[in-house]
Every structure is written in C-alpha cells, then in structure tokens.
Amino acid sequence: MAGPAMLKQRVIWALTLAIALFVAVQAIVAYLVLDRQEDRIVDQIVLTEAERLVHRLEAGEMVWTGGDILLGPSLHAWVGTNGDVPRVLSRLGPGQYQLNTEGEVWHVAVADSAKGRVYLRYDATDNEHRVYEFGAILLGLWLACTLLGYWTARALAGRVVGSMVEVTDRIESWAPGSPGMKVMRSDEAGRLIEAFNRMQDKVDQSIAQEREFSANLSHEIRTPLTSIRTDAELIALESEPSAQAGLRLTRIVSAVDEIASTLETARAISSAQAGPRTEVALRACLDDAWSGLAERAHRAGLVLVNEVPEAAMATLDRYGLLIVLRNLVRNAIDHAAPAVLTATWTGECLALADNGPGIPAADQPFVFERYYSGRLRDSQVPVAGDAGVQRGLGLAIAKRVCDIQGWRLTVASSTDEQHRGTRFLLCFGEGAALVVS
C-alpha cells in the first residue's frame, strides 16, 4: 500500500504546487502592476500640478504671499527658498523624487520659474497603505486558492490513482491457490486485472505441476529405498556379518534414512503452505517426532529428556510442527551428539536445549542458511555410522516452515566449557491458542 499511497501523494502535491505557483505568480504580477501604476499616476499628478502652478505664477494668475499653498487634501506647494520650505525639500534640485521620511511616503516635483523655485509635495502614505492592504488580500487569496487547489488535487488524484490503488490492494492480498480477482472495470485497471488473473492461473498451474512431480518422485524413490533398507536389516539379522560388513550395513541404513529425510523435507518445501490447524498436545507431538529418529539418536549418543507438561496444548498445524521438531532433533543428532537434549515449555515457547559442543558466536547468525553445516565441522563430534551425506538443509527447512506458519525460531549457543550447548526456542505467535491446564 505504501507505493500507491506515495504515488497519490506525489500527484496531490504536484498539482497543489502547480496551482500555488500559478496563483502566486499572478498575485505578484498584480501587486507589482498596482504598485507601479499607483506611483506613475501620483507622479503624473504631481508633475502636472507643478507645471500648472508655474504657468499660473508666470501668467500672474496667482500671487504668492508666503507660506505653503494647499492644492488638495494631500498636495502642498511652496515657492522660493525661504524658511517656509521644508528643509528636506529645500536641498533638492529640479526634477521628480520619491522620499520616505518618518514613515511617510512623499512624491515631490521641483521646478524653476520666474517667481522662484517651485516645490510641490504629494503625501502618498495612504495610497501605499492601500497597496499593502491589497497585497495582504492577495496573500489571503493565494492561501485560499492553495487550499482549494489541494482539495481539488486530492479529488483528481483519487480518480487518477484510485484504480491503481485498488489493483495493488487486490494483488497484495493474493496468494497461490486463491481465487482469481473479479473484473469490475472496463478501463486500463480492468485489463491489468485480467492480465494478472491469466498470470495467476499459469503460476498456480506451474506450482501444482511441481507439487505433483515432487510427490510422484518421492513415492517412486521411497519404494526402492524401503527395499534397500529392509534387505540391509534382514542381512544383518539372518547372518553374522563381520565387524566391517556390519559397519557397512549400518552405513547403508543411515544413508537410506538420510535420503528419505531429504525427500520428506523437499516435499515440505514444495508444499510451502500452512496446513489445517488442530489442537495439538505438544509433549506427544515431540515424542512422535523423536520416535522416527530414536534409533539413529541412540547410535549417535543423543538422549531426549522431555519435560514438556502433558497438559500443554496449542492450536496449530501439527504436520508443520512435526517437520520443525524432526529437523531440530536431527540437527542435535548431527551436530551435538553425544549429548542430552532437554525439551521444556516456557508457557509461550517450546525450548530444545542440548549440552553439546555449541556453536561459535560468529557462526550463529548463519545457522539457518542452507548447507551451512560445512562451516561447523570443527565444532562437531563425529557420529558413529555417519554415511558422509552432506547436511545443512535441516535448520533452513525448519526456519522456512516457521516463516510460513507465522512462528518464530531463534537460537542461542555457547562454546564455553562451563555453559556450553545450544538452545533453540520455538514460539508459536499470536495465532496459536496456547492452553496449559
């Protein structure tokens, strides 16, 4: 949802910024035009009045008797250079000026005449205030237009990006095997959904074929493996093989068990989905996981101490839990034995701890990677009857199943002589109902 939301926000802010910039440019231009027009009009008035006053003085139509001449509410004139002329004006030569004095704005025109120098001043302070008020009004209009533009952009962005958001939400909720999405639109979004449905059908078909192939392959291989294992056990029982031959028969049985285990875990990966949730007795489930590996654990010297209460129950996928527990037990056989594996229940998590050689701290972040067992050879104790089959998928598979189920699998280990050992903690998360009566 973050992607479409970000796209919608980008569209909103882009449209809002465009509207804000357009209105701002128009407002600035209007303000500058008004300000310049106001100055030009006042300058023209002052110049015209100065020329008319000079003409009247020279024509004798007006006789100056001293003091200032009031030509209008904001228009004053002086003639001559005596003390009646304001000092700030008396220093000016002929021409037009705009003066800012003590918070007032004056437009001044100075001209020479036969009767003396004429000074004409127009107080434009009120005009400037009106220009500032106009600027404040423009600013308010800009803010209002920006807010209106924002809401307009939200509405437009909702229509433009809404279809993409809808498609994204529906695709995010998709999972292999889920029904196809219904096409409710005839636009580009509808065609995109149709294309996705076709792709989904192909993916589901491919996944189904892979699962079927994996199941068929597992079945075909298990049959001869069972025969090999049975024949090896019968040979060991019916005859008295030498020590070397007995060791070879044991290796054959171990190799067959390894291959069968690999097939089982491969099938678990190929299914890659959570099974039905049922109420599971955790102690009994651990016993079931141990029973299939008990003989191999005995040969390796691994002893299970099951301290999980019989009343400990959880609502979860029992087959998924069996896969995780079998791989944890198998890991203890391969990497910790001879040792004691103790299973406890913390109230929320299932803990499996051994007193084996432990895992170096530098290696612990990588124990859930595939085929990482090769890096742990130095800390392993050789297992009797080890057929040399490459290991390292067990913990990776356990972690993958936990991720699919929504569980959390963590590891803590120490190689210190006093506290050495490895502890795996399996927490079932909020989705599993935990009961201990």
Q: Is 254 exposed, middle or buried (0-12, 13-18, 19+ CB in 10 A)?
A: buried
Q: What is the pLDDT of residue 377?
A: 42
* Whether pLDDT at 9 is above 70: yes
Show me where the domains of the chain are located.
2-148, 174-272, 275-436
* Whether pLDDT at 370 is above 60: yes
- Containing 18, the helix (H) or strand (E) segment is helix 2-59
pTM score, whole prediction: 0.47
| 384 Cβ contact list (under 8 Å, min separation 6) | 299, 300, 301
Phi, psi of 354 (to 5 degrees): -120, 165
Q: What is the pLDDT of residue 285?
A: 93
Q: What is the pLDDT of residue 319?
A: 83
How does residue 248 score in pLDDT terms, banded at 50, 70 and 90? confident
State percent of the chain over pLDDT 70. Answer: 83
Instruction: Give me the mean pLDDT over the 14-30 stretch.
Output: 93
Q: Is 224 exposed, middle or buried (0-12, 13-18, 19+ CB in 10 A)?
A: exposed
Q: What is the pLDDT of residue 252?
A: 85
Which of the two residues, 132 and 190, has the higher pLDDT score?
132
Q: Average model confidence (pLDDT) for the chain?
A: 81
How does residue 62 score in pLDDT terms, banded at 50, 70 and 90? confident
For the four alpha carbons of 83, 85, 86 and 92, in that order, the dihedral sign comes to negative
Residue with the two structure tokens 């005449």? 113
Closest CA to 353 of 341, 345, 336: 341
Instruction: Give me the mean pLDDT over the 188-206 stretch.
Output: 78
The answer to whether the beta carbons of residues 307 and 429 sit under 8 Å apart is no
Q: What is the pLDDT of residue 158?
A: 78
Separation in Å, CA 365 to CA 362, 373, 410: 7, 13, 10
| Residue 12, token pair as written in the block | 């909103």
User: Under CATH, which number does the domain 174-272 receive?
Assistant: 1.10.287
Separation in Å, CA 96 to CA 45, 57, 118: 11, 20, 12
The whole-angstrom separation of Cα 421 and Cα 419 is 7
How does residue 198 score in pLDDT terms, banded at 50, 70 and 90? confident
* Whether pLDDT at 202 is above 80: yes
| 33 Cβ contact list (under 8 Å, min separation 6) | none
Q: What is the pLDDT of residue 388?
A: 36
What fold does the segment set 275-436 form as a domain? Heat Shock Protein 90 (3.30.565)
Closest CA to 122 of 145, 150, 89, 92: 89
| 276 Cβ contact list (under 8 Å, min separation 6) | 317
Comparing 98-112, 201-215, 295-309, the range with the smallest average pLDDT is 201-215
Q: What is the pLDDT of residue 277?
A: 82
| Residue 138, token pair as written in the block | 């423009």
* Whether pLDDT at 374 is above 70: no
The whole-angstrom separation of Cα 338 and Cα 316 is 32
How does residue 278 score in pLDDT terms, banded at 50, 70 and 90? confident
For the four alpha carbons of 403, 405, 406 and 411, in that order, the dihedral sign comes to negative
How does residue 184 score in pLDDT terms, banded at 50, 70 and 90? low
382 by DSSP, 3-state: which?
A: coil
